[in-house]
Structure 1
Amino acid sequence: MIVVIGGNGKTGRRVAGRLTGRGEQVRVVSRSTSPRFDWDDASTWEAALAGAGAAYVTYHPDLAFPGVPEFNARFSATARAAGLRKAVLLSGRGEEGALASERALQESGLAWTVVRCNWFDQNFSESFFLGPVSSGVLSIPAGEAREPFVDADDIADVATAALLDPRHDGEVYELSGPRLLTFTEVARELSAATDREIRYEPVSHEEYVAELQREGLPADFADLFATILDGRNASVTDGVQRALGRPPRDFSDYAARTAATGVWTSSRLPAAPSLR
């Protein structure tokens, strides 16, 4: 049995689908499943993990938020007591706050693999950038920061391999796409893929905080944006190549593939924000 925590998320549902396709027994858990898994209710953890040998672990909304490492230390202890042998943790690249959560897992006595990522391609189609892209104007406090956007399908491929193959035990994989892009260049890529104009209009940190508050969302997202967009992740990595023996998918391929689904021309509303 492999438990997928957050199995309805961008990476979780992809990991669950890959595992099921390989004939693995999979239990997807979240606040809406039975058994229920709720990060804010530790009493739900043991039942969700019962009988499982491995787990794919994602934390919503983000590992870098205050207090999360303590949750993860407690979770790791509970998981080991429940009989779990291995955990694959989705972590944040360049996030100091996430390192404490990684250490909690690494010191738990479980076999582990850490998968570090920065910005997902799919944030533009399956999360909080869906609405702005659909409207044609992408406004965030990113300036001309350059990011190596990574495809969630690459993340899922690496996580699945790590869950099934002990050769990945003890590895930290930093994943990225094959090239750096500014948000201006992202807008151009999306414009070309959709055959319509999509603009990037940078806003100030204060303007973005106000927008988040209007939407009833945590202002912490604006602070996290400011932190991880300071150039610390402005380099490509070899994580996908090292884990899978192939290069990562390119953003232009993602844009073309996703445009063909019509998601950016539909009336669908964006999902709740999650950097992961």
Structure 2
Amino acid sequence: MNHDTTASPRYLVIGANGKTGRRVSARLTAAGHAVRAVSRSTAPAFDWYDAATWSAALAGMDRVYITFQPDIAVPAAAGIIEAFGRAAAAHGVERLVLLSGRGEPEAEACERVLFASGVDTAVVRCSFFAQNFSEDFLAGPVHDGVIALPAGDVREPVLDAEDIAEVAVKALTEDGRTGHVFELTGPRLMTFGDMAADLGAATGREIVYLQVTPEEYAAGAVEAGMSADDAEMLAGLFTNIFDGRNASLTDGVADVLGRPARDFADFAAAAAAAGAWPTASAETTTSNETTAA
């Protein structure tokens, strides 16, 4: 299927509600690009585990940003993404940009099958997301003041999703970006205790990191409302990746964006100011209002 090469590219963003997908979609839309952002709840719907949904999403699209759910490290991902690469090629897609995981052999298998798909591909390979603390499974623990993870004293180059989205948009829109793996990290290595301290400083509250076993983490996650399958998947993933394999920094963000990666403390301050978690001042105000009442 041949598209009109004189027209402006049309963009498909898979993961419309995800931490990076919604940011990529917003940036592309703000720049005036035609964007179709899809998920299981959109029209057309897109479901990684139902290939019958792919065609309607791909129809008429030129470039695709790919995020895989529930995680690119799950065993089924490489086979599904390989099939999607074939579908994209059949629909005349000209460029694929894959969100990948740093230090994950399963993710690298997904990268390889897309590079072999016949469609020009770029990979944005990322370390642990800062927004896991504000928009995902760690937001509740930050709210409660105890971050319990099976991570020991490992040091992670925690990375801001805003930086990821900005790099991904450049990979999607600019010439000369395909054929590359952009390996992104934050600007410093941090233990989860360091992250808890920065979150505490941003909120004015005591927030601590508690080291737990994978089994304790999974049990606590289920108790907090996570499905048993998701809790077991995360516990297994953390056991693998929180072993020090990612305890190194890259200049990936600076190489693409021409500026340093955003520091975790800056993320924490901005998220706290935006109301991601309770702050000491807000709690004091609420307490005073209750007393006055």
The two structures have a TM-score, normalised by structure 1, of: 0.94
Quote the residue 2:78 is aligned against: 69
**Given the alignment of the two structures, is residue 29 of structure 1 paired with residue 38 of structure 2, yes or no?**
yes
1:1-276 aligned within 5 A:
1-214=10-223, 215-218=226-229, 219-265=232-278
Deviation at residue 217 of structure 1 after TM alignment: 3.5
- How many residue pairs align between the two structures? 266
Q: Secondary structure at the match of 2:100?
A: strand
Provide the C-alpha distance between the structure 1 equivalents of 2:265 and 2:107, rounded to a whole number of angstroms: 29
Provide the C-alpha distance between the structure 1 equivalents of 2:167 and 2:242, rounded to a whole number of angstroms: 24
Which one scores higher on RCO, CA 8 angstroms, separation ≥ 6?
1
Provide the C-alpha distance between the structure 2 equivalents of 1:205 and 1:216, rounded to a whole number of angstroms: 15
CA displacement 1:197-246 (0-9 Å, x = unmatched): 00111111221122234432420211110111100000111111112221
Q: Percent identity?
A: 54
The two structures have a TM-score, normalised by structure 2, of: 0.89
Q: Which amino acid aligns with 2:95?
A: K
Provide the C-alpha distance between the structure 2 equivalents of 1:79 and 1:195, rounded to a whole number of angstroms: 48
Q: Secondary structure at the match of 1:237?
A: coil
Deviation at residue 115 of structure 1 after TM alignment: 0.3
Q: Bigger radius of gyration, 1 or 2?
A: 2
Deviation at residue 166 of structure 1 after TM alignment: 1.8
CA displacement 1:94-130 (0-9 Å, x = unmatched): 0001111101100001011100011100000000000
RMSD between aligned residues: 1.0
Q: Which runs of 5+ in 1 are unaligned?
A: 267-276
Provide the C-alpha distance between the structure 2 equivalents of 1:166 and 1:43, rounded to a whole number of angstroms: 32
Q: Secondary structure at the match of 2:122?
A: strand
CA displacement 1:71-91 (0-9 Å, x = unmatched): 000000001101111010000
Q: Which amino acid aligns with 2:154?
A: A
